[in-house]
Amino acid sequence: MEEITISQAEVLTSPNPFAIIVSYKPSGGANLTAASWWTYVSNRPAMVAVSLSQKGFAGECITQYGTFTLCVPDKALAEQAFYCGTVSGRVEDKAAISKIALRQWKEGFPPVVENSQVAMLCRLERAVPAGDHTLYIAQVEQVLADSSKQGLKAYDGYRRLE
């Protein structure tokens, strides 16, 4: 073995499960953020966590409204989903520009990405600052799935979706 950086390790250990985090924007509508640093953290109760950069917009939106949806998009959305990881929702209306179809599922939660393999309606429980990111730990209130879809994975850190 040899010593490497954590960024190099992220490439070596990819792929990661990928998700689009949908949050409410203070100006109205939904913001879509690409996220490969998410994980399941508990079965009972159902819980997930997602680590989001403190520079990004999504964390701010989630903190303000307390809910988000975590959607694993189908492979057909690879290009549009990648776009959601290249620009901030503070700068562009990613829902409008990407034309990713959204569907309102439950009151109080941002819409879900329609063409998803799995979508989870999440209620923020705790936000834990961790270095340059914040870990958003959430209870999953409802899980939706379409097993005919193939969920995207993130390869080589943030570089590629397949």
Residues that bind ligand FMN (CB under 6 A): 31, 33-37, 51-53, 56-58, 82, 85-89, 133, 154, 158, 161
Q: What's the min distance (Å) between Cβ of 141 and ligand FMN?
A: 21
Burial 2-30 (b: 16+ CB within 10 A, else e): eeeeeeeebeeebebbbbbbbbbbeeeeb
Toward ligand FMN, which CB reaches closer, 44 or 100? 100
Of residues 34 and 121, the one with the C-beta less far from ligand FMN: 34
Please state the closest distance from residue 103 (CB atom) to ligand FMN, in A.
Answer: 20
Among candidate residues 79, 30, 90, 35, the one with its CA nearest the CA of residue 57: 90
Distance CA 95, CA 133 (A): 23
Closest residue to ligand FMN, based on beta-carbon distance: 85
Strand partners, 150: none
Q: How far is the CB of 114 from ligand FMN (least distance, A)?
A: 20
